[in-house]
Structure 1
Amino acid sequence: MSKDNKELEKETSAEGGASASGSTLDEIVKKQREGKLEKESEKISDAEETAEEEAYVKAPKEKKKTNIRQLKHGMMATVLTLVFVAAVVLVNVIATVIFERYPLTLDLTKEKKYSISDQSEEYVKSIDTDVTVTVFSTEDNFLALSDYTRQAVEVLKKFRQYNDRISYRFVDIDSNPDIVKDYGTDTVTSYDIMFETNPTADVKRTRKVTLIDLLSFKDELLTNLNNYGMTLDTLVSQMGSPLTFLQYYGVYVEASRADEAFTSALMAVTDPNPVTAVFVTGRKEAEKLEYLQSLLEANGYQVKTIDITKEEIPAETNLVVVPAPTVDYLPEEVKKLSDYLDNDGKMGKQMLYAGSIRQAETPNIDEFMEEWGIKVGTGVICEQSGDNYYRFPYYTITTDVSTNFTQDLNADPVLLNCMSRPITLLFDERNNNGTEAYVKSTPNAYAADMKTGEQLNKGQQIYTAVASKAVFSSEDGKGTYSNIIVYGSVETLADSYLSFTQFSNREYVLSLINGVTHKTSTGITIEPKVIEGNVFDLTDSQRSGLQWTFTLIIPAVVLVIGGIIWLRRKNR
């Protein structure tokens, strides 16, 4: 082989070796690099493992704290939820009981026609005996009659709410015809309302309230009836029933007397000392005194009317009212009054007699009154000063009033005396008889002849006096008295003057009668409420909506809100 070939082979071998060596070096470098990466990876893995181990070690502590916090929130949410649920249940139970016991009624009327007076409320709350009120109709039929019957039912509900010893029920006479037998002499018809108590096993007290008693009527109707010599009760009787009367004369209704009528009935049946007042007719009396009758009846008196020419005075009578008869009594009629007051020598009976300038001569009545020490004179009392009369000198104003029997007055009385005849006391005391002036004029007054204006006598005059006779017990010496209250003017007790609010005539005569009859004092005078148009009644659908709101909707809303709060707190 030539030298050149040998050198070429060496070069080729050298290149090949170099090539082989280069390849090995690259691999070594690559391997070294990979080794470093593996070591870095191992380091990273070791670090991650260490972090995980540390996290694993720390995790139980953090998780424990988280669990405690969640547990607290969960417990709080649970407690709140239980409170909400308990509140919902309690509200629902209370609302249900209230709606069942006291049906929801909101008085949204302008004149508060579904309300009762504060005085009536106070009296109703004081009743301490069981009272049952029976409405002789189905409830639906009674409510459908008119706005006034709806008011009557609402008043009954109020009474029940104020005193649970008062209960009421609806009884259909057609379905229960025998029930009317339970009320003896009381005539019961459909839509009547009966109040009753049983103070003893042998005694039942009842007071019937009719549809007419629930209402007051316009003066126009009453005046027209008076012009024809009729009363409201007479016309109702002629028409057959209160319902028939109202179908024809309902347009004359102007006020509701449900509060007054029902409180009056309660007084009548719960009074421990019931009083019966009898108004005497038959001798062309100057006034019927219908307002006074209503006033007494409204305040718990049993009020009756008799014809003195035909009837005897009932034995149970406590007060007889003689309203200025324009025709003199016959001797036998005077004897009825005398025997009544004597009460078989036991006394204890009362009478109110009123004179009038419209009376003719009444010698028999005058003689009887003089036996008791009182003379009702002629003429009319007048005042000189304009400060002491109202419009005319014979419409006099006085404040000179005895304090006797003023127990029911809230202030010193100011009285209006209308065309009063002067009263003369014939003696102060004689045997067991006595007289006393109760209402007097000023010292500047005088009595005048109505026709001529001539002054008959000057000086202080007497408008009202009381004559008394007594019998004394042989055991303890206590006296029992019969009294005659004498008014010089029946007009002072007339309907229009008793209704004056600026004077105290109404309050005074009621207190005076309460005093002499020993009537249990209630301290209240009940008057009718006026109902006017354009009022808003709470309908059945509105009442139902309010009931569902309180018993279902509000509790459901409370539950939803409680659930949301519980979920939010649980997920914190």
Structure 2
Amino acid sequence: MEKKSFFNKKKLKYGGTSIVFTCIIIAAVIVFNVLFTKVADNNAWIIDMTSSQLFTISDATHEVLKDVDEEIDIIFCQPLDTLSSNSAQNLIYQCALEYAREFDNVKIRELDILEKPQEAKKFESSSTSKLKTTHVIVASHNDPTRNRVFTYESFFAVSESTQEVAAFDGELRFTTAILQLLSDKPIAYFSINHGEATGSEAARPDLWTLFETAGYEVKTIDLSKEDFDAEAQVLVISDPQTDFIGYNPNSPDAVNEIAKIDKFLDNLGNLMVFVDPSTPELPELEGLLEEWGIRLEKGVIKDTTEGYDRDGLLLSADYPTDTVGSGLHSELRKYNTVPKTFVNYARPITVLWDVDGSSMTDSVSKRDASAVLTASSTATAYSTDNETTLELNGTLNLMTISRELQYINDQPHYSYVLVTGSTDFALDDYLHSKSYANSEILYSAMRFMGKETVPTNINHKEFTNESLTITTKAANNWTLFISVVVPSIVLCIGLVIQIRRRHL
């Protein structure tokens, strides 16, 4: 009987073929994964399944940048291949890549400042503003001197109460930076030397940062020594503790800060004032505000029925309609669920012109004042001196706005005075949450005051939940599919192949 060769046996033949075929499939899958990962990394292919859409550019950004054709460079001050080593800087990098993918005129570059210190100097505005590896530059490609420099920290919002990172501001930061490069930067001044809350140069208040984000060049001004720049658009007086210098009849030529503010407003400047129940009496400043139809009352507003804390000091503001001030939240009121604006520890503000809300200042100018935010009907104003109830008629105002209309060359022009009865209104906890509308109210005020490039509807991307937004049921179903269904399919295919082999 002739012996069959060992290598001619059917089992070995088909078994060997299966092993080779399996090895080829596994190798192909590995190669495909490596190539696909490489291509995905190079082309920034990302499916954003995060609840706050961290990596997605909103329609608002597409709208404001759709007509921009100037070439823009987003420059990282360290090699790009090192950015993925840290989750925070990688998040900024991925956001920048999304801009490069969505807008043909935006390019990503690296500038290794340790290797090329001379090239880095053209982005340094002064001898003291040295670039660091943790800086990101947004610059005009054709004119690098037009640039904005940001630290990694500036792309994130920190909770005032917990001091933890609360939100990602990448889209807001990149979009406003690009807009700033395309237009001249108006100046927003913060007054100083009256005990104001302007912070140190290393720790500016949240309101300061909000103006920078909106495209302003923000500076301090000591009105007892300095005059307004011609490019100044807004003066902010935040929590003053001493009064401003007014007219002195015994020394008519002495410095008059109130006169400077008055002239600034006459020249179409704008004023924002933030006070609270603890702010002392300021006769000169209060006298100026009364000329604009706004009076600061000595008291504190409490709402123990609808307030959001035990003492009734944290208030959810009502939005009045059909007034000049209602324009600051007209877009917010269009939402199906209207976001809340919170005002904490507020003093009442009275609009003096209670007939039609307006007053003629001269033959060509007219001022009108109205509420922007009001307390609910269950709120009560108490005296800060002895906790007795204040006899104030009508609704209690939390924020008011007054405007003056002037006709110049037959064209209407406005200047505005915004007064808020709470210094907490612009704290970080209220500005950096999509649940609150405080920042949107202030951005709207800036638009009223003439800064057209303030971005609209670009939200902070909150780190409320970094997990994929799928339900527990869906997660269990996927687990079942991967761990049971897929292996079962493979097993069935294997059984079919095995049965077919036995019948060959």
TM-score (norm 2): 0.67
Which residue, 244, 250, 272 being the options, matches 1:329? 244
Partner residue in 1 for 2:388: 454
Cα distance change, pair 503–135 in 1 and its aligned pair in 2 (3 A): closer
Counterpart of 2:287 in 1: which secondary structure?
helix
Which residue, 348, 354, 371 being the options, matches 2:268? 348
Cα distance change, pair 306–142 in 1 and its aligned pair in 2 (3 A): farther
Instruction: Kindly provide the CA deviation profile for residues 449-486 of structure 1, in whole angstroms up to 9, marking residues without a partner as x.
Output: 1342211214322222222334322x3x2232221111
**Do structure 1's residue 523 and structure 2's residue 466 form an aligned pair?**
no
Which residue, 200, 207, 210 being the options, matches 2:151? 210
**Do structure 1's residue 513 and structure 2's residue 435 form an aligned pair?**
no
- The amino acid of 1:366's aligned partner reads E
Q: Distance in 2 between the 1:221 and 1:314 partners?
A: 38
Counterpart of 1:266 in 2: which secondary structure?
helix
Cα distance change, pair 521–253 in 1 and its aligned pair in 2 (3 A): closer
Counterpart of 1:262 in 2: which secondary structure?
helix
Q: Distance in 1 between the 2:437 and 2:54 partners?
A: 28
CA contact (8 A) 1:102 1:161 kept: no
In the TM superposition, 1:247-262 aligns within 5 A as 256-262=168-174
Counterpart of 2:98 in 1: which secondary structure?
helix
Which residue, 343, 362, 366 being the options, matches 1:417? 343
Which residue, 232, 235, 244 being the options, matches 1:317? 232
CA contact (8 A) 2:368 2:404 kept: no
Give the structure with the higher percent helix.
Answer: 1
CA contact (8 A) 2:76 2:110 kept: yes
- The amino acid of 2:401's aligned partner reads V
Partner residue in 1 for 2:131: 189
Counterpart of 1:360 in 2: which secondary structure?
coil
Q: Distance in 1 between the 2:376 and 2:55 partners?
A: 43
Partner residue in 2 for 1:358: 278
**Number of equivalenced pairs:** 404
Which residue, 131, 149, 153 being the options, matches 2:93? 153
Q: Distance in 2 between the 1:214 and 1:344 partners?
A: 34
Q: Distance in 1 between the 2:121 and 2:350 partners?
A: 53
Which residue, 310, 320, 324 being the options, matches 1:400? 320
Counterpart of 1:456 in 2: which secondary structure?
coil
Instruction: Kindly provide the CA deviation profile for residues 24-83 of structure 1, in whole angstroms up to 9, marking residues without a partner as x.
Output: xxxxxxxxxxxxxxxxxxxxxxxxxxxxxxxxxxxxxxxxxxxxxxxxxxxxxxxxxxxx
**CA offset at residue 148 of structure 1?**
1.6
Which residue, 39, 42, 55 being the options, matches 1:115? 55
In the TM superposition, 1:158-237 aligns within 5 A as 158-183=98-123, 185=125, 187-191=129-133, 192-197=135-140, 205-217=146-158, 219=160
Cα distance change, pair 471–110 in 1 and its aligned pair in 2 (3 A): closer
Cα distance change, pair 381–365 in 1 and its aligned pair in 2 (3 A): same
Counterpart of 1:404 in 2: which secondary structure?
helix
Instruction: Kindly provide the CA deviation profile for residues 159-184 of structure 1, in whole angstroms up to 9, marking residues without a partner as x.
Output: 01000111121123344333345346
Cα distance change, pair 451–306 in 1 and its aligned pair in 2 (3 A): same
Partner residue in 2 for 1:437: 370
Q: Distance in 1 between the 2:223 and 2:306 partners?
A: 41
- The amino acid of 2:299's aligned partner reads G
Partner residue in 1 for 2:175: 263
**CA offset at residue 150 of structure 1?**
1.9
- The amino acid of 2:188's aligned partner reads A
CA contact (8 A) 1:285 1:324 kept: yes
Q: Distance in 1 between the 2:307 and 2:80 partners?
A: 55
Q: Distance in 2 between the 1:512 and 1:490 partners?
A: 16
**CA offset at residue 400 of structure 1?**
2.3
- The amino acid of 1:208's aligned partner reads V
Q: Distance in 2 between the 1:286 and 1:182 partners?
A: 34
Identity among equivalent positions (%) equals 18
Partner residue in 1 for 2:208: 293
- The amino acid of 1:400's aligned partner reads P
Counterpart of 2:232 in 1: which secondary structure?
coil
**CA offset at residue 138 of structure 1?**
2.9
> Which runs of no fewer than 5 residues in structure 1 stay unpaired?
1-91, 223-251, 536-572
Q: Distance in 1 between the 2:51 and 2:312 partners?
A: 38
Partner residue in 2 for 1:22: none
**Do structure 1's residue 136 and structure 2's residue 80 form an aligned pair?**
no
- The amino acid of 1:327's aligned partner reads T
- The amino acid of 2:276's aligned partner reads S
**CA offset at residue 366 of structure 1?**
1.7
TM-score (norm 1): 0.60
